[in-house]
Amino acid sequence: MHIFKRNYTKFILLLLLSLFPKTILFAQENSLKTKYFTIYYAQDCSLAQLADRLHAASFLHIDIFPQQNNVQDIQSIVSDLFDSLYLEVSDIIDIHMYSFEGTIRIMPGREELREILGAYFKKVPNVASFYSHANNTIYFSWPDLTLGVLVHEMAHAIISHYFVVPPSTKVQEILAGYVEYSIRKKAGLQVVK
């Protein structure tokens, strides 16, 4: 009876694992709600590092960064930063949707991103980021997340959301590329010509 019970528990656990693999995959995440996005990020991602990588100082006009252990401050900085960048991208392409709400998922690395992409592609591409129109979610690989990559995908999200019939992939890439160029230029970063 005892053995049966233990096996039964194991069986239930295995059943749960097979029913909710995604829940388990995302279990190690933190989240942050901004005006325009809900951001889920892997526990290893440092928000202070993220703010630095995204050149927060250029877009929020702040000089002093709080200490890394001041969780509240850094969360509000990152939240303001994503919303400011959203508005910058909107300005550049002249599409303003103040009711926009999207999801951002920052995965620990490309391997985890590939697992997500497996649901969309038969031949999974090795990419740093991806926007899914179906669930209005932008996925990133943490080590690859830069200012250019972020605003590029934000542009895709805005464009896809705005047009009833989304423009062709080529048109979208030209627009997203232009957004990336403009924002990098604004942040004083070297732009590839």
For residue 175, the tally of other CB atoms under 10 A from its CB is 20
Name the residue nearer to Zn ion (CB basis): 51 or 150: 150
Name the residue nearer to Zn ion (CB basis): 74 or 175: 175
Stretch that binds Zn ion, among 26-34, 63-71, 116-124, 168-176 (CB under 5 A): 168-176
What b/e string do you get for 45-80 counting C-beta neighbours within 10 Å, with b at 16 or more? bebbebbeebbbebbbeeeeeeeeeeeeebbebbbb
For residue 39, the tally of other CB atoms under 10 A from its CB is 24
What does the block give as tokens for 36?
């325009």
From 113, 154, 176, 187, residue interacting with Zn ion (rule: CB under 5 A): 176
What's the closest the beta carbon of residue 108 comes to Zn ion, in angstroms? Answer: 22
Stretch that binds Zn ion, among 34-42, 91-99, 136-144, 175-183 (CB under 5 A): 175-183
Stretch that binds Zn ion, among 62-70, 91-99, 170-178, 179-187 (CB under 5 A): 170-178
> Could you tell me how many residues of this chain bind Zn ion (CB under 5 A)?
1
Strands 37-42 and 102-107: parallel
Question: Which residues in this chain contact Zn ion in the complex, by CB under 5 A?
Answer: 176
